[in-house]
Structure 1
Amino acid sequence: MPTRNWIDLKQDALSGIETMRAHFEGHAYDPHWHDSYLVGVTEQGVQQFNCRRQKHRSTPGKVFLLEPGDIHDGEAPETGGFTYCTLYLDSHWLERELRSLFEQTPDNAQLSFAATLADDARLAMATANAFRTLHGEEIRIVRQTALDGLLSSLTSHLHWRTLITPDPRLPLVAQRARDYLHSHMTQDIGLDDLARETGVDRFRLTRAFKAAFGVAPHAYLIQLRLAKARRLLAQGELPVSVAAALGFADQSHLGRWFQRAYRMTPADYRRRCSNLPD
């Protein structure tokens, strides 16, 4: 039976914001994360996903709010699937715009969403309007006005979270392993490398890492590379070059993981999000 899933993705050249409208039936996508803030609205059906160790069900009119690094999956538990629209807000853009709205903002702090799901009609309308104007490539003043409306509606759902290093809420072993993965993400890292770096055996390391971040170290490394791949592809880099730069075995290896996480090929993503010719 042919799939009825579809994705419509664009990127706004001025703000760097990606806009996506999609429909999925059954399994939507495997666990993954983004390095941007996600603000989206479920338009039709039931959108079910796991995030922050909870299962969420977003129904029409509800807004879902994900922070950079929030690992999430997706599925349609009911016949007919679900449709949604989403904005991927660049973290630097969002923090810069919000800091300009307030006379005083805290230093050494990161924006955080108060909840993963919001039942807020004003925010839902602002999100849908921002999506329509950006995705529809309206003139610049219209796009900026819609984004200002979105920012205004978001403020009641945001707070500043103090950045503490190391984070006392997470095991130090897991944080050290994560930092090592970030600084060596293009290398052929083994569990023995992480164990040596953290001073514990591989089994304790894996248990601590999964408890802290919800995935095993190898899965975290793959997602780290995929997030970087999105940025490089949006800049016009060719999939074969991206695969080589990020430590994938070849272009097909990158393509398999990219397809599982984002339900599109690297070449398709590059075509939709860059203005460069193939």
Structure 2
Amino acid sequence: MAAHNWIDLSQDADTGIETLRAHFEGHAYDPHWHDSYLIGVTEQGVQQFNCRRVRHNSVPGQVFLVEPGELHDGDAPTADGFTYHMLYLDPHWLAREVNAVFEEAPQGSQLGFASTLTSDPRLALATSQAFQTLHSGELRIVRQRAMDHLLERLTGQLYWRTRYREDPRLPLVAHKAREYLHSHLHVDVGMDELALACGVDRFRLSRAFKSAFGLPPHAYLVQLRLARARHLLAKGEQPADVAIALGFADQSHLGRWFVRAYGLTPAAYRKRCSNLPDR
């Protein structure tokens, strides 16, 4: 990571919620996704990112909201870069907590964000207060109250939407390929093998997959592995062991992809989440 860029990351012991504050100049992140709900506030500069096939420019005070699995990147279009703070909310935690505020979730539904970028001063304030209390390790009762306040403000941006097992808007071959990659996460899958499993040639498969999910199959598989690596590292597993378990060539291979997606090395991420020393 460039010398002028920095990341300060922590994890709340009670909820598992990660809190992050960072500054970037120039290119920040390659396209990637998380399996958490992201809610954050831009503090300074212009945070430019692509999400939902739209380019967004988040300026100070705006709140950005990204759902699990939504592909996004990050760049600083101005010389002074941008600074932001953000919370990573576990989907199971969020659904459980929101059920106390919303009516019971309709069957076969999942939470969605109504918009990716919003100018809502009260939501921005609630997000910043929740970030500060969790990131600084305030008393438990203070942290819980701040999160309750955030959830109350967040309900205006949340809605229950149908959980598609197979989204009818996307080609069936793309669904088949995605399911195959999820079930072969640890395997060194080749395009010929994937195309054979889907019953099409690899060129047609690549076009359909990228059109549906924004990434070619090989890049999608890397993102799956990186999302799993975050979980294992946060639990305290060693980067070298994680790399082997997830099919990366070695720890350096995992590290290169991890830094491009998250701006931190696997070892640094592990240390900040688990507080465990390296072996």
| Aligned pairs for 1:1-278 within 5 A | 3-278=3-278
Alpha-carbon distance, 1:3 to partner: 3.1
- Distance in 2 separating the partners of 1:79 and 1:256: 25
Equivalent residue of 1:100, what SS? coil
Could you give the per-residue CA deviations for residues 79-114 of structure 1, whole angstroms, max 9, x where no partner exists? 100000000001110011001223432121110001
Equivalent residue of 1:70, what SS? coil
Amino acid at match of 2:64: F
Amino acid at match of 1:173: V
Could you give the per-residue CA deviations for residues 192-242 of structure 1, whole angstroms, max 9, x where no partner exists? 121111111101100000000001000000000000000000000000110
- Distance in 2 separating the partners of 1:103 and 1:40: 25
Runs of 5+ in structure 1 lacking a partner? Answer: none
- Distance in 1 separating the partners of 2:31 and 2:172: 24
Amino acid at match of 2:244: A
Amino acid at match of 2:70: D
- Distance in 1 separating the partners of 2:48 and 2:144: 31
Instruction: Kindly report the root-mean-square deviation, in angstroms, between the aligned alpha carbons of the 2 structures.
Output: 0.9
Amino acid at match of 1:130: A
- Distance in 1 separating the partners of 2:199 and 2:104: 42
Which stretches of structure 1, 4 residues or more, deviate above 6 A after TM superposition? none
Alpha-carbon distance, 1:277 to partner: 3.2
Alpha-carbon distance, 1:161 to partner: 1.1
Amino acid at match of 1:226: L
TM-score (norm 1): 0.98
- Distance in 2 separating the partners of 1:105 and 1:243: 38
TM-score (norm 2): 0.98
Amino acid at match of 1:215: L
101-110 vs 17-26, which deviates more?
A: 101-110
Equivalent residue of 2:237, what SS? coil
Alpha-carbon distance, 1:47 to partner: 0.2
Runs of 5+ in structure 2 lacking a partner? Answer: none
Equivalent residue of 1:237, what SS? coil
Percent of residue pairs identical? 69
- Distance in 2 separating the partners of 1:161 and 1:177: 24
Equivalent residue of 2:99, what SS? helix
Equivalent residue of 1:105, what SS? coil
Amino acid at match of 2:71: I
Could you give the per-residue CA deviations for residues 118-170 of structure 1, whole angstroms, max 9, x where no partner exists? 11001000000000000010010000000001100110101111112221011
Amino acid at match of 2:102: F
